[in-house]
């Protein structure tokens, strides 16, 4: 197993962008590229990481704002993965209109995730778990070899994702957390879309929204 995960916090909403990198081949998946994607691209170049894919946990504008920039900067065609139930959100500006401004992604997803599928990435498996509630097509990426889950805006340290935007549903979100997060091993690292990382055990013990 030769995967590593690196984090970079970017943009006006302090989004966490994740780089899943094979240390031998340098092939890299970038998760949820946000604003200032040029800085993420520069970080990849500096570390000799070859970005080959973009994976999206959910299609809110702040999690997809850097897609077009990465596509423009890349010298090769990037594969872009999204869960199909968030395609309409993707095409509708990622919910930016609800915030009072215009935004669009000109790039299109090149493949769609399936719930429960395990995608092989350089001899490691990454499990796709559909976790609706924040958006209809929200997913998390579980990397058992690294005892880590990349959680998007499903759960945060001591908090949970907002559900007051179109497609959000609080009871559905809590159910997603209980079935897809809290069932993971207690030591599993949880890497959220914003804020510090946490663990399953810490959230079971201290998250007031899960009591």
Query: pLDDT by residue (tens digit) across 119-150?
Result: 999 889 999 999 999 999 999 999 999 999 99
CATH 3.40.50.740 fits 3-210, yes or no: no
Convert the chain into a string of H (helix), E (strand) and C (coil): CCEEEEEEEECCCCEEEEEEEECCCCEEEEECCCCCHHHHHHHHHHCCCEEEEEECCCCCHHHHCCHHHHHHHCCCCCEEEECHHHHHHHHCHHHHHHHCCCCCCCCCCCEECCCCCEEEECCEEEEEEECCCCCCCCEEEEEHHHCEEEEECCEECCEECCCCCCCCCHHHHHHHHHHHCCCCCCCCEEEECECCCEEHHHHHHHCHHHC
- Reported as a single tens digit per residue, the pLDDT across 23-79 is 999 999 999 999 999 999 999 999 999 999 999 999 999 999 999 999 999 999 999
pTM: 0.97
pLDDT band at residue 1 under the 50/70/90 scheme = low
> Domain-by-domain residue ranges, the chain?
3-210
């Amino acid at each position: 197993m030769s995967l590593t995960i690196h984090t970079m916090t970017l943009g006006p909403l302090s989004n966490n962008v994740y780089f899943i990198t094979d240390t031998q081949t340098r092939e890299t998946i970038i998760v949820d590229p946000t604003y200032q994607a040029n800085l993420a691209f520069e970080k990849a170049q500096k570390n000799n990481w070859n970005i080959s894919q973009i994976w999206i946990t959910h299609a809110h504008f702040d999690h997809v704002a850097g897609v077009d920039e990465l596509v423009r900067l890349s010298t090769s065609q990037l594969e872009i993965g999204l869960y199909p139930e968030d395609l309409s959100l993707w095409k509708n500006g990622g919910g930016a209109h609800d915030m009072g401004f215009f935004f669009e992604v000109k790039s299109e997803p090149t493949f769609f995730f399936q719930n429960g599928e395990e995608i092989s990435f350089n001899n490691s498996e990454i499990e796709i778990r559909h976790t609706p509630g924040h958006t209809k097509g929200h997913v998390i990426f579980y990397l058992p070899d690294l005892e880590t889950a990349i959680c998007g805006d499903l759960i945060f340290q001591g908090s949970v994702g907002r559900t007051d935007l179109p497609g959000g549903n609080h009871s559905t979100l809590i159910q997603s957390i209980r079935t897809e997060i809290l069932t993971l091993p207690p030591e599993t690292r949880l890497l959220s879309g914003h804020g510090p990382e946490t663990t399953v055990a810490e959230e079971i013990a201290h998250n007031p929204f899960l009591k």
